[in-house]
Structure 1
């Protein structure tokens, strides 16, 4: 069915376009960003989804800003919720008509890491390194899902099926956050040791930081402090009960002490990553700033969860070290304070079923927390442009009308 699809396509730094593309098949065809060893891979275990919701992510924005080696023509999008319209002959437990959430990690379910629950570093889906994802540079070349239709491999293992289709559609704007942002924020909180009574500092009030804050509340934290330079995003954090630190107004330790009475916290979450800047609204890139500041803020014996993205190649890095992902981290400080550090992509399947239950039973209202804002697929370039300006919104694309009339509850 050539020409039966449309997808958000990366053209060059600062520019994306919605292009007519081929309807997907159960085969990974050669194309922009596809690892040559993956080209032609047959996916009898896969399904074709009609995309019901697909989100613009900060990780996508890194590519669109030209901060990775993403090639021209790469189809973007790794946050996908959809309805099965076709299934491969080897799919046993997923049926046509099922409404499903797609973890952004692509995992085979067969390798050692998958069997140990480390689905973010599957050994069989990316010939170049451990771990695969949709629509992302160096992650195997699996075609992205900011589209009307997309192919998902290893469907029986990867997909989270919602048993009640009607309930899932009613909560679709919240459930679309299960593909990445909510499990990623939750993983940051869990690995930072957040629990009942914890004091938590979240660096970054973008969508992942807001999700980490909401997840910390779900886990029972006593106080969640969200830090940023962006006053609009800080106001969004306050809208659901967070304390805030405006980094343009002085040192974080002083502001934390005003809130807690002491200049330290039990747990900290880095929701910024490698595009961090030194303190000040118009300051230069300083990719180790967040990590170093968090080591200063976290109490001795505390932990840092690091869901923020760090890369091995940044063509626009501030110096040769930054361009290769080499950062000047004060590891000696972290060592002296016996800190625990947890890094890497989130193993979404570890959390998404439980988080789906929390959404369906109104224990968390994640769409409202991140200010989910619906756009038609053709307005994706506008969404990328606005997101790059720092608006406090999580843009959710609506390729097939499933979100018509939906609002964050």
Structure 2
């Protein structure tokens, strides 16, 4: 019975708000659900009334037709909500709790979860380690750009906010805890950012901006953000970053002008596989550009954090190799400079409690940094189109009108 509504992928450049079944504590068959997950019972799960759910750049990769996502897939992996029903196996989470949902789904029982590697849980996706809501090849867990969503392993996965009223007052900051804030922070941490570091961040989209805020929070001496988009670069400057327009040439030259040396201590790739060239080649897609550039401009012995998404299946890839995720990397450069690389999903649970505390105690204003913009569920298709045009905003969907200030 259709007692729910959500945003669904309907083919390249097409999303719509569709009627959905109200979620239950079982994973039903549907678009993208792995056959081995159909009928999976979740007595350890809860039903959330979604308070906020954000549009992510990773969603845009699917909506552009750059993945093998099936039509009808319910989108959305950045979720904050209120618990309205708990399964019989839920012990600590209660009805009425307001919680953040890590975008990666984890069981809490497997070896990887017990080691804190919640981005590569072994038990939630029959295809490969790791899972997420509303995303292609991630097991088929239904997305949260909807009015209601089911969250499995609730006692383990959910981050409960200590005070409901305080949470609602800071909801635009707290909604970033489900993905982009921990993901940007993970990029900065794995790049080795520490007090006094010089940092270059490739990409001024929401994750790049979150990485820049995180680098500042970690005590970086200089944070430099590179992008092709003037509005997004202006957004980075609004909270104290230096910026580089990479359409004007190699970022290494500009880094030398800023720092006096042509290299940084730490670098973050917040672009991913749809990267474009630098300088005269900026109009052309060149998926290895950012990674090769970062290897060149990172100091020997340094580290590169790679929260930017890379995929194993890209129907729109520039060549046959790119279509299967095989890129022309200058790995010899990285080897010769003894660089370290960290890739993959951010293990959100490693960071989200501490970042929540930073928000609640006014140590960071992540919503302002990424220019959080509230829209209604019905305006989600327009939000996707505007985000794809390159606007310097992070769209926050408010399915029930609880946030206020809807554009």
Q: CA deviation at 1:361?
A: 0.6
Q: Is the 8 A contact 2:375 2:406 kept in 1?
A: no
Partner of 1:284: 284
The answer to whether the 8 A contact 1:295-1:333 is kept is: yes
Q: Distance in 2 between matches of 1:352 and 1:47?
A: 20
**Is residue 2:356 matched to residue 1:350?**
no
TM-fit CA distance, 1:250: 2.2
**CA distance, structure 2, for counterparts of residue 303 and residue 116 of structure 1:** 22
- The alpha carbon displacement at 1:405 in A equals 3.3
Aligned residues between the structures: 406
What is the CA distance between 1:290 and its match in structure 2? 0.2
Question: What's the counterpart of residue 73 of structure 2?
Answer: 74
What SS does the aligned partner of 1:405 have?
coil
Deviations 1:264-316 (CA, angstroms, capped at 9, x unpaired)? 00000000000001114752211110000000100011100000000000001
Cα distance in 2 for partners of 1:211, 1:129 equals: 28
Residue 33 (1) aligns with residue 32 (2): yes
**TM-score relative to the length of structure 1:** 0.98
| Residue of structure 1 equivalent to 2:212 | 213
> Do 1:173 and 1:406's aligned partners in 2 also have CA atoms closer than 8 Å?
no
Q: Tell whether the 8 Å contact from 1:185 to 1:215 is kept in structure 2 after alignment.
A: yes
For the Cα contact (< 8 Å) 1:277–1:287, is it kept in 2? yes
Contact 1:182–1:212, Cα closer than 8 Å, also in 2:
yes
Deviation of residue 254 (structure 1)?
1.2
Q: Map residues 375-394 of structure 1 onto 2, 5 A cutoff.
A: 375-394=375-394
Structure 1: how far apart are the matches of 2:152 and 2:271?
Answer: 30
Aligned to 2:13: 14
The more displaced of 281-290 and 67-76 is 281-290
* Distance across 2 between alignment mates of 1:250 and 1:278: 9
Q: Is the 8 A contact 2:105 2:124 kept in 1?
A: yes
Report the CA distance between 1:352 and its aligned residue.
Answer: 0.1
Indicate the SS of the match to 1:21: strand
1:61 has 2:63 as partner: no
Gaps of 5+ in 1: none
Partner of 1:301: 301
- The corresponding residue for 1:45 is 44
The runs of at least 4 consecutive aligned structure 1 residues that moved more than 6 Å come to: none
* Residue pair 1:301, 1:339 contacting (<8 A) in 2 also: yes
- Is residue 232 from structure 1 mapped to residue 231 from structure 2 by the alignment? yes
Match of 1:268 in 2: 267
Question: Which segments of 5 or more consecutive residues in structure 2 lack a partner in the other structure?
Answer: none
